[in-house]
Structure 1
């Protein structure tokens, strides 16, 4: 039997990035392509690293897509599901994911109630171990240590053992739930560690001297902070955990441009922006963030770029004015009744005696 393992994570079905309904389809397309490409390898096992859904209460369309897919692929491959932070709300009973194990005997869900799953291939026992996302650091580390200690027992120890969790790891996300120290302490129980949650695929280099460990990565980006990320999934052949292959999937093209353009008039800024946009018409999601010393009125800078360029799924343009240093002046002033009276006089509010008296009374009451 083919011993290929495919690992797919953070698909975020149902997410409307920037409230754009077009983005819903982007997440579906990436998920479907990842499944299609994974099944072409005829894998023995597919591990889902969590956050297949973006919401705890997924919409019917996303739910239907996932359920239909799981039923179809489980006829020919075994499936492990982790529960991510987007799929759970405080405690396990809020998550839909455990229900999927009732769809087919080949579908298994990792939870604190079911942290050890033993599968067999080619006369080898493969233990998959893990639990749902836990937000509390102390509880997450305590749970990891406990289930790792249990692997010593023969009935839940495989010839090969894989840890699969959806957690933030120290140095990779802040705040984090699992420290590198804790991960190193339990690493001798496993042959491979797989993590979901961080959307960029990467090797966990801090423990690579002990065991192969990886963040799987996501199938589609969920913010412009991820614009440089490659999207896809991992495959392992013949239990060679040190040399995974990363298989890319097509995601919506995304680009972020940040620049300080110096001193410019609103007209020059508008021309600069139009040129930038025209040069990036092939990008579906474009964010432009400029800083400028504006010589003129800020409100003369155009803002309706998305209307002019409807071909973009997201076109996000922002201009941050840079304040001249000589304009930053803080003057200390002693406030008294005379200053309040003078203010009302200068503002043409001489006849607002009632309001002025209220201000003076409040000043006397709260000025110290």
Structure 2
């Protein structure tokens, strides 16, 4: 086995309106294809969003055509198998996408949802049959995804029974719940994917632009290039999969630097400029033409209108000579705010665990039971997101309450049993509010 799994190239994106960024995404695509040529891979999977938008322009199509033609010339046996991401989908009135155009020229193969002659196969009739591998694909179908997963699993099972066992790959384009720092529409929870685990060896995902792996069978490589600044610091790249294992490759791309400065103790604009200069001087060297974001955060002690942003931009230009730079000013005095450095690389579930833990521990009475309470809060949140009945969620909360009730320092009633005093009631209220 020797294949590449990549996704979310977003060809055609001129980020920040910059022609050089338009070329960066093509360079990233070429890097992956060149790796495939150099390592003589058997096939390449692209799990959606090859293009940045449905209606691409001629230069974008030329970028894709040129790179894929090079692959066909140098490695003619290496197939490229693609599913449509939300950015690739054809307009309804057209019924034909730019991926279909590349398909018609023999440069890649788009795997479609298709009915087959076999009984009961309504979606998964279009698949790739190789010597030792069978590849299925499902385009981006948004909120419908979770409802058709059992059907997808059942149809793959029927096809496997009819054609024999092979290493089975399924490409899909959706986001896994708990991976992003904020919830997003259409996310799929792991439990909803369990029917697929019985019939799929490698679930090749795309959509979220950071890398994650789950349970040894779910793989999301992320985008190769940065698509948005909020991806800063997150691992990403493409997978090279061989018999020896799965390896994430992270090519060298456009350098990006986010620089942060707490301005809470700065009294005047002149002091701000001095502090920024000192902060920039401490930054390690960076390759030419980077993308730079300066993030000023904290409580501001003077009007924002007093800040000369052009002066700060000039400081950034002199220090780094960036391709692009931006200054962001974030004000916050929330006791629950986490700095970016505290959460970089954490999943949303890990961030939630930290926030809930901090909140519970604010009340010293619950410190000894904080872990149990936080687990219950997170489980109650999951149940609510899954549409579980309110009575079942209340039972879960009550179970936690009863479990730790005996450890809370309230008075006993006349029978000698501890009564549900103010501490217990407050605890139940905190769990319910969270």
Task: Sort the TM-score into its range (normalised by shorter chain).
Answer: 0.7 to 0.9
Rounded Cα–Cα distance in structure 2 between residues aligned with 1:156 and 1:55: 37
- Looking at structure 2, the residues matched to 45 and 315 of structure 1 have their Cα atoms a distance apart, in angstroms, of 39
Indicate the residue corresponding to 2:263 in structure 1: 261
Match of 2:396 in 1: none
Counterpart of 1:223 in structure 2 is 228
From the two aligned structures, give the one with the greater helix fraction.
Answer: 2
Q: Which runs of 5+ in 2 are unaligned?
A: 116-123, 334-434
Distance 1:222 1:155, change over 3 A: same
**Aligned mate of 2:138, from 131, 138, 145:** 131
Task: Verify the 8 A CA contact 1:118 1:156 in the aligned structure 2.
Answer: no
Number of equivalenced pairs? 307
Report the CA distance shift for 1:181/1:298 in structure 2 as closer, same or farther (over 3 A). Answer: closer
Partner of residue 97, structure 2: 95
Structural mapping, 1:26-45, within 5 Å: 26-45=24-43
- Counterpart check, 1:11 vs 2:9: yes
1:33 is displaced (CA, Å) by 1.4
Q: Determine the C-alpha separation between the residues in 2 that align with 1:213 and 1:41.
A: 23
Distance 1:320 1:178 in 2: 31
- 1:272 matched residue in structure 2: 275
Within 2, Cα distance between the matches of 1:290 and 1:306?
A: 13
Look up the match of 2:194.
Answer: 184
Q: Which residue of 1 aligns with 2:405?
A: none
> What TM-score results when the alignment is normalised by the length of structure 2?
0.64
Q: Classify 1:196/1:71 alpha carbon distance in 2 versus 1 (closer, same or farther; 3 Å).
A: same
SS for the counterpart of 2:109 is strand
Following TM superposition, by how much is the alpha carbon of 1:35 offset from its aligned partner in structure 2, in angstroms? Answer: 1.5
Closer, same or farther: CA 321–133 of 1 in aligned 2, 3 Å: closer
| Deviation at residue 143 of structure 1 after TM alignment | 3.3
Which range moved further: 109-118 or 77-86?
Answer: 109-118
> What SS does the aligned partner of 2:219 have?
strand
Give the whole-Å Cα distance in 2 for the aligned partners of 1:233 and 1:33. Answer: 10
CA distance in 2, matches of 1:300, 1:7: 50
Q: Does 1:300 align with 2:306?
A: yes
**Counterpart-to-counterpart distance in 2, 1:196 and 1:263:** 43
Highest CA radius of gyration, 1 or 2?
1
Matching residue of 2:151: 146
Match of 1:233 in 2: 238
Higher relative contact order (CA 8 A, sep 6+): 1
- Between the aligned partners of 2:188 and 2:53, the Cα distance in structure 1 is 23
Structure 1: gaps (5+ residues)? 324-368
Aligned residue in 1 for 2:71: 73
Change (3 A) 1:102 1:157: farther
303-312 or 184-193, which moves further after superposition? Answer: 303-312
- Once residues 288 and 222 of structure 1 are traced to their aligned partners in structure 2, the CA distance between those partners, rounded to angstroms, is 18
1:12-41, CA deviations, whole angstroms, 9 ceiling, x for partnerless residues? 111122222321122122221121122211
Q: CA RMSD in A?
A: 2.6
Corresponding residue SS for 1:87: coil
Aligned-pair CA distance for 1:61: 1.4
Which residue matches 1:169? 176
Distance 2:251 2:222 in 1: 11
